Structure 1
Amino acid sequence: MKLFVSTTSPFARLVMVACLRQQIDAELIFVMPWENPQELLAVNPFSQVPALLTDNQLLITESSVILAHLMPQIFADEKSAALTSLSLGIINQAVRAFATERFQPASAAPHPFIERSTSLLSNLLPNAPQLDAQSDALGQIFFGIALGYLKLRLAEVFDKAVTEANKGALEQFCQRDFMQKTQSTALEKLPTSISQL
């Protein structure tokens, strides 16, 4: 199977880390989805990553659906499902705010999506669960990835809204092997498969 990813997508990172942790291998195809590359459009007309092309040439998109297909057990546990959905929500709001700001015209007033997303995150994060930096539970791992993406893309929101305990836990979490293997600088070497990360 082939997994289409980019070096910066937090959704692709979720899937790559989950595959690493569950020892699921796949060929990695690196693309720049914003540029609508023909290689990606040929399999995914939405030009989004991650996109999984199965051995039967069936396309599965959306990180949560890919995860459910590859490892349905992660959603069988109620706590894991709840923390995974929280993590995906954090990433969705951070991506919306970042992408909207990045692509709006310089002369335009800030789009309301930016304020809405940053406000929702600012209200949520002070009461977010505590990250367990050493946990092997995928829900905890996804939560750490979500906090890491928030810190990267919306540093001001992260600095103001994330608790000091979670900031400290994130520092430890980011030192873990799978986080080092899937950071953007490591992915820029374009490994050819999950097993090569």
Structure 2
Amino acid sequence: MKLLASLTSPYARKIRVILAEKALPFELVVDSPWEANTRIPELNPLGKVPVLITDEGETFFDSPVIAGYLETLGASPALLPPAGLDAVRVRQTEALADGVTDAAVTALLESRRPDGERSEREIARQKDKIDRGLAELERRLDGRHAFNGSPMQLGDIAVAVALGYLDLRFPDIDWRSRHPGLVPFAERMFARSSLRDTQPPAG
């Protein structure tokens, strides 16, 4: 398998963590859709990473889809229940975490617009989404070891990646002070080798 990814993309990091947890061999191809010579639009018409190319040459994009594909390979540990309401609940956790990440990415891109084009109101709107999403995650975790029961599942990875992205791009949000119920969970997740080894570079 090949994974085309930016090293700072939280969506790509989610997939890299899954691959590491499952010990699935793959080739990492560093590519950013923001670069002039990027190959990403040829493989994903939406021009976004990550993109996974299977050994058979089939292409998958969008991190929830790639995560679902990786579950079909049968590699341990299973990160999704086989089917039914339990699987939907894990996907809901993933969607909530990805929504926090989406808001953070949108706020970052808005903050990088030139003076006169940048909307502080839009940045504040996205940060409100982040705060509401984190509050809901904190409520759902409710002091437990993991979101949808032990062992660790896909939703837990998505939440850890979202929190790591906030550390990278928005340390001023200080989610640890605002949502202390997430801190013990995050510390356990950040200590895993899969998260340590995929720590994005600053910048």
Identify the TM-score tier after normalising by the shorter chain.
0.7 to 0.9
1:177 and 1:150 map into 2 onto residues whose CA distance is: 19
1:61 corresponding residue in structure 2: 61
- Does the CA-based 8 Å contact 1:132-1:140 persist in structure 2? no
RMSD: 2.7
The count of residues paired between Structure 1 and Structure 2 equals 185
Q: Give 1:167 shift.
A: 2.8
Q: Greater helix share, 1 or 2?
A: 1
1:74 match: 80
- The aligned residue for residue 21 of structure 1 is 21
Which whole-Å CA distance do the structure 1 matches of 2:37 and 2:44 have between them?
10
Pairwise CA distance, 1:4: 0.1
- Select the residue among 59, 71, 91 that pairs with 2:101: 91
Which consecutive unaligned segments of at least 5 residues does structure 2 have?
73-78
The one-letter code of the counterpart of 1:132 is: H
Query: Larger relative CO (CA 8 A, sep 6+): 1 or 2?
Result: 1
Structure 1 letter corresponding to 2:123: I
* Preserved contact between residue 10 and residue 149 of structure 1 (Cα < 8 Å): yes
Map of 1:159-178 to 2, 5 A cutoff? 159=175, 162-178=178-194
1:114 correspondence with 2:131: no
Runs of 4+ in 1 over 6 A off after TM superposition: none
Per the alignment, in what secondary structure is the counterpart of residue 184 of structure 1?
coil
Q: Distance in 2 between matches of 1:35 and 1:61?
A: 18
TM-score, length basis structure 1: 0.80
Q: List per-residue Cα deviations over 1:39-77 (Å, max 9, x = no partner).
A: 334433443210112233332111111111221562632
Q: Does 1:154 align with 2:181?
A: no
Segments of structure 1 that go 5 or more residues without pairing to the other structure are 186-197
Corresponding residue SS for 1:136? coil
Q: TM-score, normalised by structure 2?
A: 0.78
Q: Percent identity?
A: 28
Report the AA paired with residue 116 of structure 2.
S
Q: Work out whether residues 3 and 53 of structure 2, in 8 Å CA contact, stay in contact via their aligned partners in 1.
A: yes
Alignment of 1:30-69 (within 5 A): 30-69=30-69
